[in-house]
Amino acid sequence: LGGSSAGAAAMPSLPNLAIATPDAAAPQLAEAAQGDRAAKQAFMAQASNQRTVSGERLVAPASPNIVQAGSIIPAALITGIRSDLPGQITAQVTANVYDSPTGRILLIPQGARLIGEYDSEIAAGQTRVLLAWDRLIMPDGRSIVLERQPGVDGAGFAGLQDRVNQHWGNLLKAAAVSTLLGVGAELGADSEDDLTRALRRGSQDTINQTGQQIVRRQLNVQPTLTIRPGHPLRVVLTRDLVLEPVGGAR
């Protein structure tokens, strides 16, 4: 009984810790709420724009043979995408694109090639690959620089989405290995002498750290996004392109 009383007296006071935690968090929550209110009040207190007439004026197109910003170039991937490594991509225009002012002059024919690249830096939970298009090559070999025009899907959402591999299997394997290492480190006979017990405890710490590192390494592995060849896409022009007619007007 005396040993039990001494062990009970040595136990930390858990109720005090449980009570102190909400009290310590309360000022932080109140400060965050006050900051949110201050930001909203500052937004409402911003000075209004007194100018009611724009100083800009309409300008004529730079050329009759122009595809203006906001136009869409429909295409499909020729090369696939796998986000594990950075790389270049190629797509083919799948429909004719005509001039913006009249819609009668063919400027980008079906079959033209698009050259670009994709963003291989994938964040946790990300399911879409960002695209940027750098060059447009006509069937006759002429080309124009596109200056990193964005790629979107058929609905206009940024990037493309196809297959996503979150590597859950590898993470579960790492967790299982970590658990087995921890269980093995805990096993020990009650009749161990002091030297054996000290050695076991030292190895137990090392094994636990190794298991944690294995799991942490798998948590840091970014998802793998795959876009298969043939996937449809759109190139959204953010600036005007002055081109040359291809064939006659329709």
Mean pLDDT score, 2-15: 43
Whether the pLDDT of residue 192 is over 60: the answer is no
What confidence tier does 43 reach under pLDDT thresholds 50, 70, 90?
Answer: confident
For the cut 80, the answer to whether the pLDDT of residue 210 exceeds it is: no
Tell me yes or no: is domain 71-164+225-242 CATH 2.40.128.260.
yes
What are the residue ranges spanned by the domains of the chain?
71-164+225-242, 168-219
At residue 65, the pLDDT reads 96
Q: Report whether pLDDT(2) > 60.
A: no
- The pTM for the full model equals 0.65
Distance (Å, whole) CA 77 – CA 3: 75
Q: Per-residue pLDDT averaged across 142-170, rounded?
A: 89
Q: What share of the chain has pLDDT > 70, as a percent?
A: 66
pLDDT given at position 149 = 97
Lowest mean pLDDT among 164-168, 195-199, 218-222: 195-199
